[in-house]
Amino acid sequence: MSDQAFHLIAVLVYLVGMLAIGWYFFVRTKDLSDYMLGGRGLPPSVAALSAGASDMSGWLLMGLPGAIYVAGLVEAWIAVGLTIGAWVNWKIVAPRLRSYSQVSTNSITIPSFLESRLRDRTRAIRVVSGLIILVFFTFYVSAGMVSGGVFMESSFGADYRGGMILIAAVTILYTLFGGFLAVSYTDFVQGVMMFLALLAVPIVGLVAVGGPGEVAATVREIDPGMLSMLGEGATVIGVVSALAWGLGYFGQPHIIVRFMALRTPQEATAGRRIGMGWMALSVGGAIVTALVGVAYFRQHPELTLADPETVFLVLGQLLFHPLIAGFILAAVLAAIMSTVSSQLLVTASALVEDLYSMLTRRAASDRRQVLLSRGAVLLIAVVAGAMAWTQNDTILALVSFAWAGFGAAFGPTILLALYWRRLTTAGALSGMIVGAVTVAVWGNVDGGIFDLYEILPGFALNLAAAVVVSLRTHRHDAEIAAEFDEHVAAARGAEPAAVTA
């Protein structure tokens, strides 16, 4: 049997497994809360790994190792920023968002939570945030479909469009039928696959090249600066920009919605420990993989690496039996699919829960709402697939821009909503608009200070605008104040009476 046949068997086993999980949760999904938020019954381990898997995508297995393979540890600053940002997100956002979203009319989406938290009777918050999610995530999903097509083309020689359709179809099916729980549990399995692959490849690679000392010596022989995070190319603006990626976590709907689905606010602590352990080891594995790759190909000059971003995949195929290498290929596919499925579900929730329901102003049965949500998943997937039909690198380039857009538009708003009782509807709207516009303008200007990653000025100006406008428009509301105290008590595990007494 050929190596490619083994690879194909492993990938097919993986794809069938994802469909099986989707079917399992299809028969257990009863209402819209189940479909969109899993009935708030997500264990911390599943929440942690599903958040990590939906966050990292193919960047962790291909983008990061490829960048370090070419330029050295100077490219690891983004990983540092993301790791710090993820820890802070779990620490300060997770418990409060879990408690507040339930206390505030049991909100199941970020836009509905903001509307309820601020008592926005104009519904402007829900419309604006829903539209931001709908537009940007449609591009995000399209980018993921492009990645799936490219993966099948480069790994199996499949036609780009055929590969894209296959990967998109499997992802759509388990998202369409199983909803939030299917997405979360497939993300959990995908997170485990990514984790195991990112441990196995660098460990076996280290043995193959002679150990850590030999790797360091070989890399220094090529370029001593590769082992320094402050080497050539580490400008102040570059380092600050890389670290600023961490600010994006507070505003990513497909990540923070996992916090809302935890069983209790207190389980955020366990989720943080599991999630950060997974992230630290996975990011470390990606970095070591790149350095092992540098040493391995130096020791084997007869081998060539055409694309640095495939260093993880190529090492997996060189170091393992073809069947195991096939599951390593499936881990990359898992990284792509986990992100696409999470974004599909959040986008569908914005379309149905935050826009359609508001515009029609008609109460729909749970069954009808679930059917509408499944229809929204399919509609968004078709639109995203049409955008990805012709491979276009500009769609993939939009991912970093969209990360900044979400981080700057939603990040400060979420933090203020959870920690500052004087935030107003006008303040939140002003901040979201200022943050989004700043990212759009800043990201299209080059040179000097404009080389700074646009999320930083967008985040700062959103925060400033929201605070200034809120201070000018705030009027005491006893209902909002009481609800705020109740959510703080729930987040801390105290009885509400202990706060109000």
What pLDDT, on the 0 to 100 scale, is given for residue 133? Answer: 84
Query: For residue 239, which of 456, 439, 437, 399 has the smallest C-alpha distance?
Result: 456
What pLDDT, on the 0 to 100 scale, is given for residue 27? Answer: 74
- The counts of H helices and E strands in the chain are 22, 0
Radius of gyration of the chain (CA): 23
User: Which residues neighbour 86 within 8 Å (Cβ) at sequence distance 6 or greater?
Assistant: 52, 55, 246, 249, 275, 276, 279
Count other C-beta atoms under 10 Å from residue 95's C-beta: 27
Query: For residue 306, which of 103, 472, 132, 70 has the smallest C-alpha distance?
Result: 70
What pLDDT, on the 0 to 100 scale, is given for residue 365? Answer: 63
Pick the CATH number of 3-24+40-388 from 1.10.3720.10, 2.40.170.20, 1.10.1040.10, 1.20.1730.10: 1.20.1730.10
For residues 328 and 478, give the distance between their C-alpha atoms in angstroms, rounded to a whole number: 56
Query: For residue 81, which of 338, 283, 311 has the smallest C-alpha distance?
Result: 283
- pTM beyond 0.75: the answer is yes
What pLDDT, on the 0 to 100 scale, is given for residue 349? Answer: 76
Query: For residue 425, which of 353, 355, 479, 473 has the smallest C-alpha distance?
Result: 473
What pLDDT, on the 0 to 100 scale, is given for residue 498? Answer: 35
**What residue ranges of the chain have pLDDT lower than 50?**
395, 494-501
3-state secondary structure of 414: helix
What are the domain boundaries of the chain? Answer: 3-24+40-388
Distances, alpha carbon 387 to alpha carbons 30, 143, 145, 153, 336, in Å: 33, 9, 9, 18, 17
- Contact indicator for 452, 241 with CB cutoff of 8 Å: yes
pLDDT tens string 4-26: 888 889 989 988 888 888 888 87
Please compute, for residue 217, the number of CA atoms within 13 A of its CA located in the half-sphere on the CB side. Answer: 8
